[in-house]
Structure 1
Amino acid sequence: MDIKQKVIAVTGAGRGFGRAIALRLAEQGAILALIDVNRTDLEVTEAELRSRDGQCALFVCNVASEAEVETTFAAIKEQLGGLHGLINCAGILRDGMLIKVKEGELVEKMSLAQWQAVIDVNLTGTFLCGREGAALMAKGGQGGVIVNISSIARAGNIGQSNYAASKAGVASLVVTWARELARHGIRVMGIDPGVFATDMTAAMKPEAMTRMQQAIPVGSLGEAHQLAETVHFILANDYLSGRMIALDGGLRL
């Protein structure tokens, strides 16, 4: 798909991966529907995008709320005329061990609130945005592309029961939706990022960072622009659908 003057929605566009993806797609001429729960963050992304002559509209939305998602995608149609692509990038972490036992006594366990918050945003949010986005694309009659951002943690990772489960679900939706939506000319792909340079990794102790880099075969953490380039590649290649791309520098959990 040539994304020039195509309307692409990006969830979690206020910072991190979402912002990097939005900037990359704007540089290629896309019209961005920027979605995030935090207006201040969205405005920072908007300022960066417009400084590069990008086109965009802002939509403040909690992707875990069905009513807000429905209202947001209706507004996208009204303001921008339709939808040609959706990048499901919104996600949160609430890490914790399933249980902690000390000297035979249970001292801590992952709360239902920890579990549910991550499932609500990462998985239910992807479902709701995917559903509404697919409906707009199907009704528009021009097809489209959905890209779900999962994680290599979907294979399971210590201290991330909630996150791993949510990202496994996000990946399974890629295959399911690709098969269901092909009749409407809609392709669906997913990306499994590995360990990327973020505010969290920047705060790691130097020795911990060295160990982390040594564990990655290419010898470095991923950069947000590399994820954004992969999203653009997926949008541009019309023969990609129903698959996950592991963007992890060779790392496997």
Structure 2
Amino acid sequence: MNLQDKVIIVTGGGQGLGRVMAEHLASKGARLALLDLDLEKLDAAVSACTAHGIDARAYPCNVADEIQVIDAMTSIARDFGAIHGLINNAGILRDGFLLRMQNETLAKMSLNDWRSVIDVNLTGGFLCTREAAAKMVELKTPGTIINISSISRAGNIGQSNYSAAKAGVAAATVTWSKELARYGIRVAGIAPGFIETEMTLGMKPEALERVTAGIPLKRMGRADEIAHAAAFIFENDYYDGRILELDGGLRM
């Protein structure tokens, strides 16, 4: 896919990794539809993308809400006239142990913490993929969908909800690639390791040092390196049904 003038949707596009990927795609001439809940950051991201001379628009949306996703995808297809790509990037963390003794009291992960992570990280990807793919089929437009999984999909202590969601994202990527290929739609994924974002840089210095020490390349990844990977998947028409691992050699 040549990204020039292609319409790409980025969920969680108002900040962090989503914004960096959006700006990189804008630099390649893509037109951007950015979804996020933070309106101020969403508007700032749109402005940063349009600075590249392309059309970018904001769509406030909770990806875990079916009606909001349907409305957003309908609006994007109407506003741009096509949908060529989607990056399912929106995600949240609610880290915690399944069970943990604290001062002789047994603390448990709450059902809300479990459900909220599954709803946004997994169900959100399902809803956005379903609706974006449906528009691609209706408009007879081949396209590419990229799911952001994680190195944590293999299982990571303190992240049973996040690990389960990201493992589901990886499995769904393979399934959807097989189901949607007949319509000219490719589906692939990216599994980042520890990447420098607002979220990871907010970790305690000692925790950050321990994490970095365990990475063979001895540094965290950069958001622009993930953005380059996303562009590669869009541009390489034979990349399908696989998860591209970008973790500096780290394995969970």
Using the size of structure 1 for normalisation, the TM-score is 0.96
Q: Classify the secondary structure of the residue corresponding to 2:77.
A: helix
In structure 1, how many angstroms separate the alpha carbons of the residues matched to 2:202 and 2:41? 21
CA contact (8 A) 2:92 2:120 kept: yes
Q: CA deviation at 1:57?
A: 1.2
Change (3 A) 1:173 1:223: same
In structure 1, how many angstroms separate the alpha carbons of the residues matched to 2:165 and 2:151? 12
CA contact (8 A) 1:179 1:242 kept: yes
Q: Classify the secondary structure of the residue corresponding to 2:195.
A: coil
Question: How do 1:57-96 and structure 2 match up within 5 A?
Answer: 57-96=57-96
Gaps of 5+ in 1: none
Question: How do 1:172-183 and structure 2 match up within 5 A?
Answer: 172-183=171-182
Runs of 4+ in 1 over 6 A off after TM superposition: none
Q: Which moved more, 1:45-54 or 1:110-119?
A: 45-54
- Matched pairs, number: 252
Q: Classify the secondary structure of the residue corresponding to 1:252.
A: coil
Partner of 1:149: 148
Partner of 1:138: 137
Q: CA deviation at 1:102?
A: 4.9
Q: CA deviation at 1:207?
A: 4.2
In structure 2, how many angstroms separate the alpha carbons of the residues matched to 1:169 and 1:16? 22
CA RMSD of aligned residues (A): 1.3
In structure 2, how many angstroms separate the alpha carbons of the residues matched to 1:102 and 1:94? 18
Query: Is it true that 1:227 corresponds to 2:236 in the alignment?
Result: no
- Deviations along 1:112-135, whole A, 9 cap, x unmatched? 000011011001100000000110
Partner of 2:46: 46
Q: CA deviation at 1:82?
A: 1.3
In structure 1, how many angstroms separate the alpha carbons of the residues matched to 2:68 and 2:141? 25
- Deviations along 1:42-89, whole A, 9 cap, x unmatched? 011012112232321110000000000000000011111010100000
Q: CA deviation at 1:138?
A: 1.4
Q: CA deviation at 1:206?
A: 4.1
CA contact (8 A) 1:118 1:166 kept: yes
Question: How do 1:150-169 and structure 2 match up within 5 A?
Answer: 150-169=149-168
- Deviations along 1:11-64, whole A, 9 cap, x unmatched? 000101110110010100011011111211101101211223232111000000
Question: How do 1:106-121 and structure 2 match up within 5 A?
Answer: 106-121=105-120
In structure 2, how many angstroms separate the alpha carbons of the residues matched to 1:209 and 1:80? 42
Change (3 A) 1:203 1:78: closer
Q: Percent identity, please.
A: 51
In structure 2, how many angstroms separate the alpha carbons of the residues matched to 1:120 and 1:201? 22
In structure 2, how many angstroms separate the alpha carbons of the residues matched to 1:204 and 1:243? 30
CA contact (8 A) 2:83 2:141 kept: no
In structure 2, how many angstroms separate the alpha carbons of the residues matched to 1:106 and 1:158? 20
Partner of 2:36: 36
